[in-house]
Amino acid sequence: MPPLKPAKSRRPASIWSAVSLIVSLFAVALTSGCGDNFSDLEVLPTESYMKKPSDFLGNTYTIRAQIDSQVKWEKGVGRILAVLPESGGARLPVFVPDAVGGNLHIGQRYEMRARIEAGGLIYVESLRKY
């Protein structure tokens, strides 16, 4: 009868638990904003914006919306989209520069990080599907 291996070859369960915790925390960190810049932004108050866009100049907001139509596109510049905000209200025009947008299709839903530029322009800095 062979002799039993010594117990030193078995790793302790606490180590595995610690590794799992670290991995989980890293994942949570990744998903909760440590790796992006959306979660810490306010949602654009569309009604107020519609009344007086100039009051929002320079601010950055997040907008969760569905693409309704493409109003204008110019190569090397970008596209103007009409989006339907998730919060309701009228459609909003947003500008998505070429460098930010990839293949954008009508009906897709995006979360956008947008800054209000001169003239009340909603300038999308980044976006992601949701």
Partner 1 sequence: MLKVCASISLGLVLGQITSHAQGYAPAAPAGSAPASAGMSAPVGGMFESNTFLEMASRAFDPSSDSMDFENGSFAWKGRTFNLTSQRAFRARFERFLLASPTEEEESYALLMNDVLQRLSVANDRSDDAILETWEMLFRAARFDTDGGNSTIVANQVFNAWRIRKEMRGTALTQRELADMRRHQQTVVANRALMLEKLKEKKQRESVRQTSEKEGNSEHTTFPTEGAFRALELAETEAKLIAMEGQAALTGIQAKLQMQSQIVAFLVQRRYQHALLLSGFYQLLFKGSQQQLEVGKGELKSFFPNTDMVFTVDMMAFVANEAITDVNKGVDAVNTAYAEDRAIIALERLQETFFLGEYMPELNAIPVEQRRMLLDLYRDMMEAVELAEAKDYNGVAQYAERIALIAKDFPLMRVLSSVETAKSMSDMAVFAASQYRNLGDIDKARAELQQAIDIWPSNPSIREFQQETTKLATAGSQGVQIFDDLYKRGDHRGIYDRRMDLGFALAEDTERQPLLMEVIEQVSTIDLLVAQSAEALKQGDPYVAWELLAEAAKFDPDDAPMNRARAELAPRVADFVVYLDRAQRQAAEAQHAGSLAGFLAAQDIYPASRMCREGIERQSSALMAHLSEQAEAAEE
Told to check if 43 binds partner 1 by CB under 8 A, we report: no
Residue 8: how many other CB atoms lie within 10 Å? 6
3-state class (DSSP) for residue 38: coil
Whose Cβ is closer to partner 1: residue 40's or residue 74's? 74
Range in contact with partner 1 (rule: CB under 8 A) among 5-13, 24-32, 107-115, 119-127 = 119-127
Q: How far apart are CA 107 and CA 62, in angstroms?
A: 18
Q: How far apart are CA 54 and CA 82, in angstroms?
A: 19
Q: How far is the CB of 57 from partner 1 (least distance, A)?
A: 10
Q: Where are the beta strands (DSSP E) in the chain?
A: 42-43, 60-74, 78-85, 92-97, 109-116, 122-129
Q: How far is the CB of 80 from partner 1 (least distance, A)?
A: 5
Q: How far is the CB of 45 from partner 1 (least distance, A)?
A: 13
Q: Which string of x and - marks every residue 98-117 that binds partner 1 (by CB under 8 A)?
A: -------------------x
